[in-house]
Chain A
Amino acid sequence: MIAEIFSFFYQFADVFAFLILSAAGLAIVFGMMGVINMAHGEFIMCGAYVTVGLVHAGFPLPLAQLCGALAAGLIGVVVEWTLVRKLYKRPLDSLLATWGLSLVVTQGMLLVFGSSVAGIGTPEGSFMLGEYSFSVYRMVLFVAALGVLAGIYLVFMRTRFGVHARATMQNAAIAQATGVRVNRVYALSFGIGAGLAGFCGALYAPTMTLIPTMGAAFLVESFVTVVVGGANVLLGTAPAGILLAVIRTALNGWGGQIVGQIGMLLAVILVIRVLPEGMSGWFARRSR
């Protein structure tokens, strides 16, 4: 009985981790700058590739993963400085431009690296509960997702950078007038968003085949979570993650992966129609 309940929780935790880890970076970029980063999947891919490359070079896995996240973050800062910066307040153009970038990167990687690269295996370790066997690594991912949420909370709520960032989110012009280096906030925020995407890729690298288009597997999920959650990462992304994970787990169980994906897309369509600002907008309005 306990095993059954835990089994459901395990599946939920698995989906929840996937949603949170893939969406966190996108949510920060969208919430901060109103930019829809269609190249989000490529930062994930970057984190995964760097991780795998370093592991093959002899690095221990956790260190390689951190480096993967860092690499993606640094590249994110460069991308922000050269491209995204020109596209604030132009959500349609930022969507198109980052989509173009995504195509360039994935096709470029396919040309240079070919379609697949030797991966790394999932760290072993499982535990039993009743008749079910569960992977330890999957639970690590769940803990990592919680850690990411906690980290975002700490950074945005308890640091000076966080205060500056939230001020910029509310009203960039006034924030700048009070001395906040808005450009730096944007660059760092995009870097954090890209770094979180890289972290997601790094964490999932041991569980997936590495192909240049692997980012696409995360894109739909992360998008749906961000749209359903709304612009506020803490108020929106986390509850959206919970809600969508429940829905997805139920749909997966009933009809399989494809039904789950279709269900998520239908959820996006419904939420945009009914709750245009996502759950964070709904929460914000209720508290007024």
Chain B
Amino acid sequence: MFKLLNGPQTLGESRVFWISFLLVVSVAMLYPAAADAYDVGNVAYLLTWTFMAMGLCLVWGYGGMLSFGQTLFFGVAGYAYAVVATNFGGDAGTTFLALIIALLLACTVAAVLGYFMIWGRVNGVFFGIVTLSATLVLSFFLGQTAGPEWRIGSARLNGFNGMKDMPALNVPWAGGEPLTFEGVPLYYLVLVLVLVVYLGLRVLLNSRFGNVIVAMREDPQRAELLGYDVRKFQLATFVIGSGLAGLSGVLYTSWGQFITPASIGLPAAAMPIIWVAFSGRSDITATLVGSFIVLWVFQVLTVYSQQAALLLMGAMLLCTVIVAPQGFVIGLVQGMRRLMVKGAAPGAPAEGEITA
């Protein structure tokens, strides 16, 4: 299985890459010792969005399906967590039960919507329009749930104001007090999850499954004529990618102890598209690195002016489509590689060229 960490579907497979990777991970592990709690919590916050980005990379970049539904599943899971955690209180691991229920719900909704679209041969731009419409339906619906009659159990949905003060993720811990995942503990939890998801996706993408989904992205009919039920692969891809968005939703809700319809509708729904398009949707590493950078820049700018931050996002999307449709991070990597090939001895294989 570890052999599959490298393969035809992922960039970065040389020894240099993996050594750098281990360096980055080590630095990340030691970071809380050197930084103050606020910054650590902030980095954890930024990292929670990367699951949604990686999920979209899987669905769009590798699977060829443009889904505007990432925030839909973000919202479904976030609200589900809020409802379950509020209803069952916050101790003895019920919050992790809430997490599991939320993820299952997000995946179920994805399976239903995905089945409807994929078996209905909805593809291309229309896939995007249907997922966007579904996302807007949820956002509009939740926005008008302000009245007291809109409740699930003891949890009121609260319309535009959203839900808040639900218990954060916590586990029973030695010494009586449960360990609440905020600040440094949350940072480590999210970091571990990011590593597991990233490496897991690398393995998945380089496996037979990955070979099939890139083939079906290129030419679905040809993939089918090679004996693959393309619809099932597309559905699996869609559910996994959407489930990852749900993971972002739960972690976000737990981190801030709130969730509102604003996280679901526009312009929130456009954000994952911008991160992934800008980074380079056809590679998982580019998406992870690029999205983190974009999220960080966006956060820095929002402090000064939210309009300026959103304007920059719009400009980035525009530039990406016109100038570097394959993504700027990927463009950068390819540019560097070309420089390195020029420097290498003639006849030596270019770094990263597909080898068996």
A258 part of interface (Cβ distance < 8 Å): yes
* B136 and A265 contacting across the interface, CB-CB below 8 Å: yes
Question: Interface majority SS on B: helix, strand, loop or mixed?
Answer: helix
Look across to chain A and name the residue whose beta carbon is closest to the beta carbon of B317. Answer: A100
Look across to chain B and name the residue whose beta carbon is closest to the beta carbon of A38. Answer: B270
* A97 and B133 contacting across the interface, CB-CB below 8 Å: no
Look across to chain A and name the residue whose beta carbon is closest to the beta carbon of B123. Answer: A276
Query: How many Å from the CB of A216 to the closest CB on chain B?
Result: 7
Look across to chain A and name the residue whose beta carbon is closest to the beta carbon of B273. Answer: A96
- Segment among B180-188, B215-223, B308-316 that sits at the interface with chain A: B308-316
Interface size on B, residues (CB 8 A): 42
A107, A223, A261, A269: the one within 8 Å of B134 (CB)? A269
Interface size on A, residues (CB 8 A): 35
Look across to chain B and name the residue whose beta carbon is closest to the beta carbon of A93. Answer: B321
* A262 and B311 contacting across the interface, CB-CB below 8 Å: no
Look across to chain A and name the residue whose beta carbon is closest to the beta carbon of B66. Answer: A92
A residues near B144, Cβ cutoff 8 Å:
258
A residues near B126, Cβ cutoff 8 Å:
272, 276
B141 part of interface (Cβ distance < 8 Å): yes
- How far apart are the CA atoms of A216 and B1 in the complex, in Å? 48
A107, A268, A276: the one within 8 Å of B310 (CB)? A107
Look across to chain B and name the residue whose beta carbon is closest to the beta carbon of A220. Answer: B136
* A103 and B117 contacting across the interface, CB-CB below 8 Å: no
A181 part of interface (Cβ distance < 8 Å): no
A residues near B277, Cβ cutoff 8 Å:
96
- How far apart are the CA atoms of A129 and B223 in the complex, in Å? 65
B residues near A276, Cβ cutoff 8 Å:
121-122, 126
B296 part of interface (Cβ distance < 8 Å): no
Interface flags, A65-93, vs B, CB<8A=1, else 0: 00000000000000000010011000111
Ordered by A's residue number, 10 sampled pairs between the chains whose C-beta atoms are within 8 Å are A83-B322, A100-B313, A101-B314, A103-B310, A107-B308, A108-B307, A262-B140, A268-B133, A269-B134, A273-B130
B positions within 8 Å CB-CB of A: 66, 116-117, 120-122, 124-126, 128-130, 133-134, 136-137, 140-141, 143-144, 266-267, 270, 273-274, 277, 305, 307-308, 310-311, 313-322, 325
For the complex with contacts A97-B322, A265-B137, A269-B130, 7 further pairs of A-B residues with Cβ separation under 8 Å are A36-B125, A99-B270, A100-B317, A101-B318, A107-B310, A220-B136, A262-B141
